[in-house]
Amino acid sequence: MPADLSVDTPVVTRFAPSPTGYLHIGGGRTALFNWLYARGRGGKFLLRIEDTDRARSTPEATAAILRGLEWLGLDWDGEPVSQFERADRHAEVARDMLARGAAYKCFSTQEEIEAFREAARAEGRSTLFQSPWRDADPATFPDAPYVIRLKAPRTGETVIADEVQGDVTFRNDQLDDMVCLRSDGTPTYMLAVVVDDHDMGVTHVIRGDDHLTNAARQTQVYQAMEWDVPVFAHIPLIHGPDGKKLSKRHGALGVEEYQAMGYPSAGMRNYLARLGWSHGDDEFFTDAQAKAWFDLKGIGRAPARLDFKKLENLCGQHIAAGEDAALLHELEAYLAAAGKPALTQGQREGLARGMYCLKERAKTFPELLEKAHFVLTDRPIDADPKAAKALDTVSRGILSELTPQLQSASWTRDALEAVVAGVAETHGLGLGKLAGPLRAALAGRTVTPSVFDMMLVIGRDETIARLDDAAGPNAEAPEAQPGARA
């Protein structure tokens, strides 16, 4: 735990997206880090929608972000906070700063500010605006619109003790007196963030390092209000596999796109957690492990690179390790998200029976569904061209020889193996030689779960019916091959 935290200070983290689009994979990771940090410490994880930019914020974007978080399984405490709705409170704090002498009214017009900058440029001075109103006598105040500016320190340094970046020092003479309240009475974003984080009791601000410079200005606001500065952890952004800044050409950027591609959310969480954070050599881990292990020290300083192979590999492990009922539930959510038809009751039951073998070696839900074709499809099974090749006359004859024996076999893996092995042996064939025709008959495919698993999952009647269908009405048991019988 960070040194400044006592047992009495519960951890409060937050995710503060701007609702201007979908939940970006980088935002998803930021949310995950905040969630893991809070949940691993019995703390709170809050959600704040930074919707002050009225022109760019939309309710659709907010809904998409919430959906993305829900899919990722990142539950937040309480209701999401709307930053816009808190504008009065932000303005109140600006006036409080004014009253404390930590801020001042600035009556400079845009033209005056421009003129200041031009003159500064011409004289080779810093173009950071220095307001003439900073120390002005209120008796000289005109009856004109004004903004409230922070009376930021002009000398010395503002240091961010960042948990990821280390101490980051900003020279105060390079930070201007930022506007906190505009002349129309609306708060600026920079003020709003600090007031909200303070009021929400946020103890740890974990966010992208594109906000590092903001942290310096925000720290000055905390200091002006004599509020505790939260622990900052600015995490490097995600890069594409080529090491370049992540962009559309690297593939999917929206969290929901990953859902629609059929990645399981546990795998996605595991992968995103590893994207920029590590715990020894651990690659595959559960949520419980991630919560127990996650800390700010394990976050790397270099940008993490997207690696789809690794994502798939972890997703495959999570599907294999998943609980059958939970997988079925998530599979159905995937079908809905991907706009595919919902399962029928029969298909659902078949999947529930077969999940134990379907979940092996499927990296995504589409792969799992492909393996599940034999439970999703109905008789007569339409064999694809490759599978159909396995159903030659000889094979069909062997299948018809199998059915009476299956009729009386007990329906266990051992018994089924014994029956099939017996028939194969009669024809001088290895068990493997019968797998092709059986796969074709039972699933119409060449890549399927084991034939015995398929038989166990669909049951005796359906197995026999499918074998009969494949054998055809006139199929006859072929002559045993010479020398086959001992």
Catalogue the active-site residues.
248
Q: Applying CB under 6 A, does 207 fall inside the site for ligand GLU?
A: yes
For ligand GLU, which is the closer residue by CB, 23 or 372?
23
Q: What is the DSSP string of 385-411?
A: HHHHTT--HHHHHHHHHHHHHHHHS-S
Segment contacting ligand GLU (CB under 6 A): 14-22, 254-262, 352-360, 473-481?
A: 14-22
Q: Applying CB under 6 A, does 177 fall inside the site for ligand GLU?
A: no
Q: How far is the CB of 233 from ligand GLU (least distance, A)?
A: 11
Q: Is 356 exposed, middle or buried (0-12, 13-18, 19+ CB in 10 A)?
A: middle
Asked if residue 237 lies in contact with residue 208, where contact means CB atoms within 8 angstroms, the answer is yes
Q: How far is the CB of 467 from ligand GLU (least distance, A)?
A: 59
Helix (H) and strand (E) counts in the chain: 20, 12
Q: How far is the CB of 50 from ligand GLU (least distance, A)?
A: 4
Q: How far is the CB of 248 from ligand GLU (least distance, A)?
A: 18
For ligand GLU, which is the closer residue by CB, 227 or 293?
227
Q: How far is the CB of 253 from ligand GLU (least distance, A)?
A: 14
Q: How far is the CB of 234 from ligand GLU (least distance, A)?
A: 10
Asked if residue 133 lies in contact with residue 180, where contact means CB atoms within 8 angstroms, the answer is no
Q: Applying CB under 6 A, does 13 fall inside the site for ligand GLU?
A: no
Asked if residue 89 lies in contact with residue 82, where contact means CB atoms within 8 angstroms, the answer is no
For ligand GLU, which is the closer residue by CB, 193 or 442?
193
How distant, in Å, are the alpha carbons of 185, 242, 290, 385, 475 from that of 433? 81, 45, 46, 18, 18
Asked if residue 413 lies in contact with residue 452, where contact means CB atoms within 8 angstroms, the answer is yes
Report the alpha-carbon distance of residue 427 to residue 409 in Å, rounded: 20
Report the alpha-carbon distance of residue 225 to residue 22 in Å, rounded: 35
Report the alpha-carbon distance of residue 42 to residue 423 in Å, rounded: 61
For ligand GLU, which is the closer residue by CB, 64 or 331?
64
Dihedral of alpha carbons 69, 71, 77, 78, sign: positive
Q: Applying CB under 6 A, does 149 fall inside the site for ligand GLU?
A: no
Q: How far is the CB of 165 from ligand GLU (least distance, A)?
A: 15
Report the alpha-carbon distance of residue 42 to residue 69 in Å, rounded: 20
Report the alpha-carbon distance of residue 385 to residue 156 in Å, rounded: 77
Q: Applying CB under 6 A, does 211 fall inside the site for ligand GLU?
A: yes
The residues in 38-57 that bind ligand GLU, with binding defined as CB under 6 A, are 50
Q: How far is the CB of 99 from ligand GLU (least distance, A)?
A: 26
For ligand GLU, which is the closer residue by CB, 56 or 361?
56
Strand partners, 12: 44
- DSSP type of residue 10: -
Q: What is the DSSP string of 124-144?
A: T---S---TTTT--GGG--SS
For ligand GLU, which is the closer residue by CB, 206 or 443?
206
Matching residue, tokens 């698993």: 453
Report the alpha-carbon distance of residue 242 to residue 206 in Å, rounded: 26
For ligand GLU, which is the closer residue by CB, 193 or 369?
193
**Residues 153, 157, 161, CA angle at the centre, nearest 5°?**
120
Q: Applying CB under 6 A, does 26 fall inside the site for ligand GLU?
A: no
**Residues of 45-81 as b/e, b for ≥16 C-beta within 10 angstroms?**
bbbbbbbbeeeebeeebbebbbbbbebbebebeeebb
Segment contacting ligand GLU (CB under 6 A): 13-21, 125-133, 150-158, 436-444?
A: 13-21
Q: What is the DSSP string of 223-266?
A: HHHTPPPPEEEEEPPEE-TTSSBP-GGGS--BHHHHHHTT--HH
Segment contacting ligand GLU (CB under 6 A): 16-24, 167-175, 242-250, 374-382?
A: 16-24
For ligand GLU, which is the closer residue by CB, 210 or 378?
210
Q: How far is the CB of 378 from ligand GLU (least distance, A)?
A: 49
Query: Using the rule CB under 6 A, which residue among 11, 12, 16, 93 binds ligand GLU?
Result: 16
Asked if residue 45 lies in contact with residue 76, where contact means CB atoms within 8 angstroms, the answer is yes
Q: Applying CB under 6 A, does 17 fall inside the site for ligand GLU?
A: yes
Matching residue, tokens 């990142």: 74
Q: Applying CB under 6 A, does 193 fall inside the site for ligand GLU?
A: yes
Q: Applying CB under 6 A, does 18 fall inside the site for ligand GLU?
A: yes
What is the binding site for ligand GLU (CB under 6 A)? 16-18, 50, 193, 207, 211
